[in-house]
Structure 1
Amino acid sequence: MTRFQNPPEGISQEALADLVAGAAQQALMQHGVLLDAEALVSASAMAGAVAAALPFLPQAQRLAITSLKGGWTELTSEFFRTMAEKIARAEAGTESTDENPTIGARKHASRPLAERASELQSMLIEDWAGEVAGSTYLEERFRIPRSTLHRWQRRGEVVALRKGGRKHVFPLAQFVDGRPAPGISEVLAAITNPRLAWFWLTRPSAELNGRTPIEMLREDMIEDVVRVARTLS
């Protein structure tokens, strides 16, 4: 077992960072924090990276960090001032980028979506997919007949996540007025693995200016979401 694996939870450091980043971005947006799209994505990604790093540090380092009382705001501000100056010097060619080749020289490539398939398969659905429910709940609460739900599933018009042997559950955020949000079928046609499709739909996308694809579909902003989804297939 490597230091990148969290023994109690079985989740990788990168996957944990993604989950925290998504939650951080939602919080920033809900509270009306004024950031442009690129800054919003960056702030969320950094929050996720920092929060996810702590559980994977050696115990001595964790204890040293958690013993610090207060002063986080000042330390964080100083960190960003230092990094901004370093990046500016690197872009101006006055500082070598050998120490960190991702600064100035090239952009960090995002992890391919397909690589997350096995990781998502091993995680509890509730830990990453949000609120889900089975056909009985949807019939009782959303008044969606089972026959209709199963027809949508056969046609690839609804995200259905297998749970256990043969049972499927359905993420509730995909439904608008008792139907799958428009564009769901096109996304599933482009990203054929339902888990990967829903993971992508519920995470902020840099290609969509930091917006979350499922929220855009719920607002009938279909064209851009489908266009980006097709580039991932």
Structure 2
Amino acid sequence: MNVDIQLQGMTTGRYAEIISIEIRKVFSGDDVRICDGLISAAGKLAAEVSAALTCLSPSDLRAIGDMRSEMAELAAQFVRAVASEASGQCLPDAAGAPAGKPEALTFLSPAPGEHRGDLESMVLEDWAGRVAGATYLHEKMRIPRSTLHRWYRRKEVVALRKGPQRHVFPLAQFVDGRPASGIREVLNHIEHPRLAWFWLVQPSSLLEGRAPIQLLRQDMVSDVVSAARDYSKSL
């Protein structure tokens, strides 16, 4: 696909549309009939996977980029698991034999012990994903410093301290140049910014294994706020 897209600042729905268009272009010149359902599903899956990748650390992204032969098999397993979960039916495995309904995956929320001291001792980029300072946000995303400061004061954006006097901002929290809805409500329940962001980017058992920040990017605010409230009770 000859397309240069940054998911940052774009909704997954719009990204899925763009990917679907590119997939259709790829097959338009071939003698291949491809159904609209396949194109739509491929676009949606690619958009969600891309959104999830924005929450990974640089070291995790490099590890994925270095994968070779394992990638195809892991992708096939992932697609079969998604299809089985969606249909609620048993799907055949790679050999064609009934595989049975896959066991439910167990996702862990951050344990109460993962508090300030633990996160302060960890390298920020290893768990927070891509972060940037005010200069980058102003130049690349056209967010004025005054606006960013106002969001920070109102707790509408997660700011992580890096060094004695500098704050950086996780990029995954921005949609269309604004913080995702629900950030303030989450910070009201999980007040420490590092712990709040750590919770936001981890798959949560309270949200069926989905990362809270991905749901906020899709405007599923009430589900995330309810989960944040429940999680805060364990702190």
Q: What is the rounded CA distance, in whole Å, between the counterparts of 1:159 and 1:30 in structure 2?
A: 35
> Can you list the C-alpha shifts for 1:48-102, whole angstroms capped at 9, x where unaligned?
xxxxxxxxxxxxxxxxxxxxxxxxxxxxxxxxxxxxxxxxxxxxxxxxxxxxxxx
Q: TM-score scaled to structure 1, two decimals?
A: 0.56
Superposition RMSD in Å: 3.0
Matched residue SS, 1:198: helix
Query: Does the alignment pair 1:34 with 2:84?
Result: no
> Can you list the C-alpha shifts for 1:86-133, whole angstroms capped at 9, x where unaligned?
xxxxxxxxxxxxxxxxxxxxxxxx663354321110111111100000
Find the counterpart in structure 1 of residue 191 from structure 2.
Answer: 192
For the 8 Å contact 2:187–2:196, the answer to whether it is kept is: yes
Matched residue SS, 1:169: strand
How is 1:1-233 mapped onto 2 (pairs within 5 angstroms)?
A: 31-34=78-81, 36=85, 39=103, 41-42=105-106, 112-113=111-112, 115-233=114-232
Q: TM-score scaled to structure 2, two decimals?
A: 0.56
| Deviation (angstroms), 1:228 | 0.8
For the 8 Å contact 2:110–2:202, the answer to whether it is kept is: no
Q: What is the rounded CA distance, in whole Å, between the counterparts of 1:29 and 1:157 in structure 2?
A: 39
Q: What is the rounded CA distance, in whole Å, between the counterparts of 2:76 and 2:160 in structure 1?
A: 28
Matched residue SS, 2:227: helix
With over 3 angstroms needed to count, the CA separation of the structure-2 counterparts of 1:227 and 1:162, relative to structure 1, is same
| Deviation (angstroms), 1:41 | 3.5
The amino acid across from 1:229 in the alignment is: A
The count of corresponding residues between Structure 1 and Structure 2 is 146
With over 3 angstroms needed to count, the CA separation of the structure-2 counterparts of 1:165 and 1:216, relative to structure 1, is same
For the 8 Å contact 2:158–2:193, the answer to whether it is kept is: yes
The amino acid across from 1:34 in the alignment is: A
With over 3 angstroms needed to count, the CA separation of the structure-2 counterparts of 1:111 and 1:138, relative to structure 1, is closer
Q: What is the rounded CA distance, in whole Å, between the counterparts of 2:104 and 2:75 in structure 1?
A: 8
> Can you list the C-alpha shifts for 1:142-179, whole angstroms capped at 9, x where unaligned?
00000000111011110000001010000000000000
Q: What is the rounded CA distance, in whole Å, between the counterparts of 2:218 and 2:208 in structure 1?
A: 15
Looking at CA atoms only, which structure, 1 or 2, has the larger radius of gyration?
Answer: 1
Q: What is the rounded CA distance, in whole Å, between the counterparts of 1:171 and 1:215 in structure 2?
A: 13
Matched residue SS, 1:232: helix
| Deviation (angstroms), 1:30 | 10
The amino acid across from 1:41 in the alignment is: L
With over 3 angstroms needed to count, the CA separation of the structure-2 counterparts of 1:114 and 1:164, relative to structure 1, is same
List runs of 5+ in structure 2 lacking aligned partners.
1-58, 65-73, 87-101
For the 8 Å contact 1:113–1:196, the answer to whether it is kept is: no
Q: What is the rounded CA distance, in whole Å, between the counterparts of 1:228 and 1:31 in structure 2?
A: 26
* Structure with larger RCO (C-alpha < 8 A, sep 6+): 2
Find the counterpart in structure 2 of residue 103 from structure 1.
Answer: none
